Amino acid sequence: MFGLFFGAGNLIFPVKMGQDAGSNTLWATIGFLITGVGLPILGIMASALSESESLFDMAKPVHVKYSIFFTCALYLTIGPLFAIPRTATVAFEVGMNPFIPKEQLRLGLLIFSLVFFSLTLYFSLRPGRIIDWVGKYLTPIFLILLSILLIATYVKPMGQVSQYPPQGNYMTKALFTGLLDGYNTMDALASLAFAIIIISNIRKLGVNKSHAIAIESCKSGLVSVIGMGVIYASLAYMGATSLGSVSRADNGGAILSLVSNHYFGVVGKVLLAGIVGVACLKTAIGLITSCSEMFSEMFPNSISYRNYAILFTVFSFIIANFGLNNIIQLSIPVLMFLYPLAITLIILSLLTPFIHKQSDVYKWTTGLTMIAAFFDLCKALPEPLQQNIVTKGVVNFAHIYLPGFDYGFGWVLPALFGFLIGFMIYKTKKAAAI
């Protein structure tokens, strides 16, 4: 579980959050851990309890067409639209950015991403021992090096957390901002896609009943939760104390590079760059492979796995050249729309023993959640689009009529109403049948 969920890209968000949250880092970290660590484990348990064979199967009680839409949207988000391009840009920010003159950064990113995605495509089309080798040896080396860096921040802190005032939304709503920051890891979305891998491995151990699989998922998830929780909290602490020795930066990759240079000089920075680069490459290969397999299985009469792999790699290369900051900004509206739908699907699946995948409950809950999540999407749009008169009107309407909207959780009440309406219809139909 830890290996599936914790990628090199996950490093950048808690570091940046810590630097911006300052003295409110504790509350921000609590929020981050809930959505960045807790939700993914619940996603695995939900898949087990609902006895779903795939994400498509899990979402099917809403409607087959919705299931196709949601599955495609989720895989594209954790694939070629955002997560795969992010692997290249994180590797570039940590590894190459510090060594390239500012005026040459665009050209540097173009060349780097071309090499990066050429290698990604090569190994995606020829999966072999290289992936296992990277997983067995380079991921542990990456964690060891990261641990040394994290220990250094505790042994010899760059500053004190309480010294630095929080910025922006962290000033008044650090917990809720941290909750939304946890969306950036995309791990809750990934848990719905990767659940079948974990569940099938648990079944190979002789565990077959859905509730038993959920219990075993919870047990192993606890180990993953502790591991990811400690690392995320330490990275947030690193970011919060970093201002004592390094300057503010636009993203966590740059902060990580600056901190590594502060403690270990050029040698440490080069080592970290190499390990992060290979870890990102491994993640990109895994995502290209899984997305291509899913689309070729879902649409067997369209194009082949090979052509999907080429298409997704080329598209990821193009998106990567927008730069890390732009990719993060562009992904936020999509995540604000998809996460409420993923969270409600997880909750509904967890309730399978009580609601038995009843279609009315799923439809009403998902329908009202989708409407409310659209408002969150509009609010998170890039600044130029927010100035549009239509967008302004939509956001102002939600601001007035949706409780919790200003905190990014305007979908909660509509989802609850949808669930109650659907549940009442379910009970009424059940009583009428008797």
Q: What is the DSSP code string of 270-295?
A: HHHHHHHHHHHHHHHHHHHHHHHHHH
339 located within any domain: no
Cβ pair 120, 313 in contact under 8 A: yes
Residues 367 and 238 in one domain: no
Name the residue among 64, 38, 28 with its Cα closest to residue 191: 38
Name the residue among 25, 3, 6, 17 with its Cα closest to residue 256: 17
| pLDDT number for residue 112 | 94
Residues 237 and 382 in one domain: no
Rounded to whole angstroms, how far apart are CA atoms 422 and 434? Answer: 19
Please identify, among 314, 332, 350, the residue that sits at the C-terminal boundary of a domain.
332
As a whole-number percent, the residues of the chain with pLDDT over 70 amount to 97
pLDDT in tens, 124-162: 887 555 556 656 676 677 788 888 889 999 999 999 999
Residue 237 has pLDDT above 90, yes or no: yes
Residues 89 and 200 in one domain: yes
The pLDDT mean for the chain works out to: 89
Q: What angle do CA 155, 157, 160 make, to 5 degrees?
A: 135
Residues 211 and 307 in one domain: yes
Cβ pair 89, 325 in contact under 8 A: no
344 located within any domain: no
341 located within any domain: no
253 three-state secondary structure: helix
What are the Cα distances from residue 60, in Å, to 10, 66, 170, 334? 30, 7, 38, 21
123 located within any domain: yes
Residues 321 and 367 in one domain: no
Q: What angle do CA 252, 261, 272 make, to 5 degrees?
A: 70
Residues 309 and 249 in one domain: yes
384 located within any domain: yes
pLDDT in tens, 36-71: 999 998 998 888 888 888 899 999 999 999 999 999
235 located within any domain: yes
Q: Which is more confidently placed, 152 or 221?
A: 152
Alpha-carbon torsion (268, 91, 161, 229), positive or negative: negative
| pLDDT number for residue 424 | 94
Residues 318 and 236 in one domain: yes
Residue 296 makes CB contacts below 8 A (sequence gap 6+) with 302, 303, 304, 305, 308
347 located within any domain: no
Residues 182 and 316 in one domain: yes
Per the structure, the count of domains in the chain is: 2
308 three-state secondary structure: helix
Domain hosting residue 410, numbered range: 358-434
Residues 320 and 388 in one domain: no
342 located within any domain: no
Residues 380 and 253 in one domain: no
CA 80 from centroid of its chain's CA atoms: 13
Residue 203 has pLDDT above 90, yes or no: no
